[in-house]
């Protein structure tokens, strides 16, 4: 089998992740066969390299390789693009034309965004995969082609099948050999390597010094979620290289180019995300814990007011009935003296600041306490406060907190 390092150098693939290496190994092993391959992964992870590797290491390497973006071709013309048409088949068909499957005979065709194919085209594609047969638009003559098909998608095809948007029989024909390309966040060790490569390319192209990251900025880069994966990282590296005068990138500079998002590793949840859609089980767990904590603080306030003989607010509807009757009875029976110190010593976050204290003051005090409890470690303090490390860093600057 070909050496992975030489493959990466040949195709400009950067990274040492085991997940990436495993995907490349599968591509090289399946290349000598004529089996259909389905490459899956999020948008921007570099799925387009794998069909090229498969073609280059196959017996078809001296024949044509055609890449087709199925999502970029209008539904009304895609059958003509893929399978060709006869003269007069439709308005504007002034002459007969070969389609991609006919042009790529003996070679490889890469169908990117295959989930975007309309149902009628899916049926035609299934026939090609089963028998190698197709018919041009406007013709009744059956033609043959010998094409290796590699498809790619960032869509969960099983969900698309369940929703009736994709044929199940076509899925199993395409998915003979699956290759999963890992997301950038799953290979954090490669993020800095990629950034350095993109920044270096810009420096060479425009004859300027390459930007570099300080230690804190590098850590921020490697813990960011990267929804756009490698494509987004390349965009950020190019923007910073072109716009920033300083060639040393600090967290303050880097944060200006990273869209605010709290979905990171580990996923954190703060008040700003309370109303946003839940995108993962882990995030759902954080939201449940956050809501439970708010409910407990509300109950503590009510108990304190009861114990001090003050009128209390009606509990919110969603926690009505959660307050143990024994606690209320204890307060009414003279146990306030024993219970009050427990509340007074609590350092839990409350949504309502005490009298004479602004919300900013209360937030500042809570952050200082969290930092002290965690010996100044921001990551642990941020986790305790249910916010991202980047958000905590910003709050420290805004509130003028001096870290020891």
* Parallel/antiparallel/unpaired status of strands 177-180 and 37-40: parallel
* pLDDT per residue as tens digits for the range 246-291: 999 999 999 999 987 644 444 333 333 333 343 444 445 544 555 5
- The separation between CA 251 and the C-alpha centre of its own chain, rounded to angstroms, equals 22
Closest residue by Cα to residue 223 from 253, 270, 194, 262: 262
**Element (DSSP H or E) covering residue 24:** helix 18-30
258 DSSP assignment: S
Sorting pLDDT into bands at 50, 70 and 90, what band is 305?
Answer: low
Ordered domains of the chain (ranges, CATH): 4-182 (3.40.50.300), 185-255 (1.10.8.60)
Is residue 224 a contact partner of residue 260, using CB atoms and an 8 Å limit?
no
Sorting pLDDT into bands at 50, 70 and 90, what band is 395?
Answer: confident
Tokens of 101: 């499957």
Percent residues over pLDDT 90 in the chain: 61
Number of Cβ within 10 Å of residue 21's Cβ equals 16
CA 219 – CA 175 distance, rounded (Å): 37
* pLDDT per residue as tens digits for the range 149-186: 999 999 999 999 999 999 999 999 999 999 999 999 99
CA 184 – CA 229 distance, rounded (Å): 5
Q: Higher confidence at residue 88 or residue 300? A: 88
Closest residue by Cα to residue 55 from 64, 46, 47: 64
65 DSSP assignment: E
* Residue 337: predicted pLDDT: 40
**Element (DSSP H or E) covering residue 389:** helix 389-399
CA 122 – CA 138 distance, rounded (Å): 18
Residue 180, preceding peptide bond in cis (omega within 30° of 0)? no
Closest residue by Cα to residue 257 from 274, 235, 229: 235
Is residue 81 a contact partner of residue 68, using CB atoms and an 8 Å limit?
yes
* pLDDT per residue as tens digits for the range 10-63: 999 999 999 999 999 999 999 999 999 999 999 999 999 999 999 999 999 999
CA dihedral 20, 23, 25, 29 (to 10 degrees): -170
- The separation between CA 165 and the C-alpha centre of its own chain, rounded to angstroms, equals 23
CA 289 – CA 269 distance, rounded (Å): 10
**254 CB-near residues (< 8 Å, 6+ apart):** 213, 217, 220, 221, 240
């Amino acid at each position: 089998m070909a050496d992975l390092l030489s493959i990466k150098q040949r195709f400009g693939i950067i990274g040492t992740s085991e997940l990436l290496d495993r995907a490349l190994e599968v591509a090289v092993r399946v290349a000598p066969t004529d089996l259909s391959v389905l490459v899956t992964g999020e948008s921007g992870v570099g799925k387009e390299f794998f069909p090229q590797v498969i073609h280059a290491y196959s017996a078809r390497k001296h024949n044509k390789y055609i890449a087709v973006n199925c999502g970029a071709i209008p539904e009304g013309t895609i059958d003509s693009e893929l399978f060709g048409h006869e003269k007069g088949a439709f308005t504007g068909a002034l002459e007969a034309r070969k389609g991609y499957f006919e042009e790529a005979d003996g070679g490889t065709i890469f169908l990117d965004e295959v989930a975007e194919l309309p149902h009628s085209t899916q049926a035609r594609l299934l026939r090609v995969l089963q028998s190698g047969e197709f018919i041009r638009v406007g013709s009744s003559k059956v033609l043959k082609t010998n094409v290796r098909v590699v498809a790619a998608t960032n869509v969960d095809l099983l969900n698309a099948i369940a929703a009736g948007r994709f044929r199940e029989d076509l899925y199993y024909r395409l998915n003979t050999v699956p290759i999963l390309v890992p997301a950038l966040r799953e290979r954090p060790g490669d993020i800095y390597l990629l950034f350095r490569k993109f920044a270096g390319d810009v420096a060479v192209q425009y004859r300027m010094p390459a930007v570099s990251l300080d230690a804190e900025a590098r850590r921020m880069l490697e813990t960011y979620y990267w929804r756009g994966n490698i494509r987004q990282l390349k965009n950020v590296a190019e923007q910073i290289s072109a716009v920033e005068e300083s060639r040393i990138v600090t967290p303050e500079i880097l944060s200006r180019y990273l869209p605010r998002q709290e979905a990171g590793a580990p996923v954190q949840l703060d008040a700003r995300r309370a109303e946003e859609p839940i995108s993962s089980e882990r995030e759902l767990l954080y939201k449940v814990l956050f809501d439970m904590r708010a409910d407990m603080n509300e109950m503590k306030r009510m108990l304190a007011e009861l114990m001090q003989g003050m009128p209390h607010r009606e509990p919110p509807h969603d926690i009505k009935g959660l307050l143990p009757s024994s606690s209320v009875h204890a307060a009414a029976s003279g146990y306030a003296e024993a219970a009050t110190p427990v509340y007074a010593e609590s350092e839990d976050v409350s949504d309502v600041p005490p009298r004479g204290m602004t919300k900013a003051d209360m937030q500042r005090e809570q952050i200082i306490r969290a930092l002290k409890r965690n010996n100044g470690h921001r990551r642990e303090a941020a986790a305790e406060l249910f916010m991202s490390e980047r958000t905590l860093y910003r709050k420290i600057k805004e509130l003028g907190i001096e870290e020891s």
